Amino acid sequence: DAGITQSPRYKITETGRQVTLMCHQTWSHSYMFWYRQDLGHGLRLIYYSAAADITDKGEVPDGYVVSRSKTENFPLTLESATRSQTSVYFCASGAAGGNTIYFGEGSWLTVV
């Protein structure tokens, strides 16, 4: 029962490079979310998606791009990474009308 998986789990990249974090869920949940977690800020919502081909901005979307061509996948792309995007990124999913969201194990991203 894989549930929700993120890759890569750990990534170091250079400023200005493009980075894509992958998220895959096996539950066919309609909703998927990307959060970043930073000390002192808790978890902040970057983008979310209600269904395939439907995405919307969260609290901190600047510098990020998402797509959702298939229900099970929700990649997050940093088009030109900056040091301020060094963070732990969590993907989550949840059923439509549901009240619980399920998290992946996180992707640790360091931008040098």
Partner 1 sequence: SQQGEEDPQALSIQEGENATMNCSYKTSINNLQWYRQNSGRGLVHLILIRSNEREKHSGRLRVTLDTSKKSSSLLITASRAADTASYFCATDPNTGNQFYFGTGTSLTVIP
Which residues sit at the interface with partner 1, rule CB under 8 A?
31, 33, 35, 40-45, 48, 50, 58-59, 90, 92, 94, 96, 99-106
CB atoms within 10 A of CB 21: 24
DSSP-based helix, strand, coil % in the chain, nearest 5: 5, 55, 45
Identify which of 71, 91, 83, 73 has the alpha carbon closest to the alpha carbon of residue 109.
Answer: 83
Q: How far is the CB of 15 from partner 1 (least distance, A)?
A: 26
**Of 81 and 94, CB closest to partner 1:** 94
Residue among 31 and 64 whose Cβ is closer to partner 1: 31
